[in-house]
Amino acid sequence: MYRSDELLKARITEQLYEKKIRPEERPAFHLTPRVGWMNDPNGFSWYQGEYHMFYQYNPYDTQWGPMHWGHAVTKDLIRWENRPCALAPDTFPDREAGCFSGDAAELPDGRHLLMYTGCRREKHLDGTICDVQTQNLAIGDGVDYQKYPGNPVLSELDLPEGASRIDFRDPKIWRESDGSWRCVVANRAEDETGQLLLFTSLDAFHWSYLSKLAVNHGRFGRMWECPDYFVLDGKSVILMSPQDMEPDSLGFHAGNNVLCMIGHLDEEDENGCFREEFVHPVDDGIDFYATQTVLSPDGRRILTGWMQSWDTVPYRVDNAKWFGQVSLPRELTIRDGRLIQRPVRELEQYRTDKAERRNVAVDDSRVFADPALSGRIADLIFEIRPEEDCREVEIRFAEGGSHYCSVTYRSQDQTLTIDRSHSGVIRDVLHSRTAKVSAADGSLKLRMILDRYSAEIFVNDGETVMSMTHYADPEAAGISVRARGEAAVDITRYLLNI
Residues 419 and 284 in one domain: no
Predicted TM-score (pTM) above 0.85: yes
Q: Establish whether 158 is a catalytic residue.
A: no
Tell me the C-alpha distance between 302 and 300, whole Å.
Answer: 6
pLDDT of residue 249: 77
pLDDT of residue 317: 87
| Closest residue by Cα to residue 163 from 124, 136, 196, 206 | 196
| Closest residue by Cα to residue 304 from 239, 244, 242 | 239
Tell me the C-alpha distance between 53 and 64, whole Å.
Answer: 19
Residues 69 and 180 in one domain: yes
Query: Among 297, 316, 346, where does a domain finish?
Result: 346
| CATH assignment at residue 362 | 2.60.120.560
Tell me the C-alpha distance between 405 and 203, whole Å.
Answer: 50
Residues 139 and 241 in one domain: yes
Residues 338 and 386 in one domain: no
pLDDT of residue 251: 86
Helix (H), strand (E), coil (C) string for 184-226? EEEEECCCCCEEEEEEEECCCCCEEEEEEEEECCCCCCCCEEE
Is the per-residue pLDDT at 122 higher than 90?
no
Residues 249 and 116 in one domain: yes
Query: Among 313, 346, 379, where does a domain finish?
Result: 346
Residues 391 and 258 in one domain: no
Which of these is catalytic: 5, 40, 287, 490? 40
Mean pLDDT for the stretch of residues 72-77: 98
Q: Domain range holding 261?
A: 5-346
- In which band, very low, low, confident or very high, does the pLDDT at 124 lie, cut at 50, 70 and 90? confident
pLDDT above 70 coverage of the chain, percent? 99
pLDDT of residue 2: 82
Mean pLDDT for the stretch of residues 149-178: 96
Which run of H or of E encompasses 72? Answer: strand 68-74
Residues 258 and 134 in one domain: yes
Mean pLDDT for the stretch of residues 310-323: 91
Tell me the C-alpha distance between 229 and 173, whole Å.
Answer: 9
Residues 356 and 242 in one domain: no
Residues 409 and 333 in one domain: no
| Closest residue by Cα to residue 382 from 287, 464, 458 | 458
Residues 279 and 354 in one domain: no
Q: Residues 6 or more apart from 113 whose CB is under 8 A from it?
A: 104, 105, 106, 107, 137, 138, 139, 173, 204
Tell me the C-alpha distance between 170 and 290, whole Å.
Answer: 10
- Asked if 483 contacts 364 with a C-beta cutoff of 8 angstroms, the reply is yes
| Closest residue by Cα to residue 150 from 93, 85, 108, 107 | 93
Which run of H or of E encompasses 103? Answer: strand 98-106
Is the per-residue pLDDT at 226 higher than 70?
yes
Distance of CA 227 to the CA centre of its chain: 12
Distance of CA 192 to the CA centre of its chain: 25
Is the per-residue pLDDT at 470 higher than 80?
yes
Would you give the DSSP letter of residue 477? Answer: -
Residues 399-452 pLDDT 10s: 999 999 999 999 999 999 999 999 999 888 899 999 999 988 899 999 999 999
Residues 410 and 448 in one domain: yes
pLDDT of residue 269: 66
Positive or negative torsion for Cα 247, 252, 257, 263: negative
- Tell me how crowded residue 88 is: count the other CB atoms within 10 A of its CB: 26
In the three-class reduction of DSSP (H, G, I as helix; E, B as strand; rest coil), residue 492 is classed as: strand
Query: Among 311, 346, 381, where does a domain finish?
Result: 346
Report strand pairing: 330-335 vs 301-306: antiparallel
Is the per-residue pLDDT at 157 higher than 70?
yes
DSSP string covering 138-174: EEESSS-EEE-TT--SB-GGGSPTT--SSSEEEEEEE
Mean pLDDT for the stretch of residues 116-121: 95
**Total tally of structural domains belonging to the chain:** 2
Residues 319 and 451 in one domain: no
| Closest residue by Cα to residue 465 from 494, 437, 493 | 437
| CATH assignment at residue 46 | 2.115.10.20
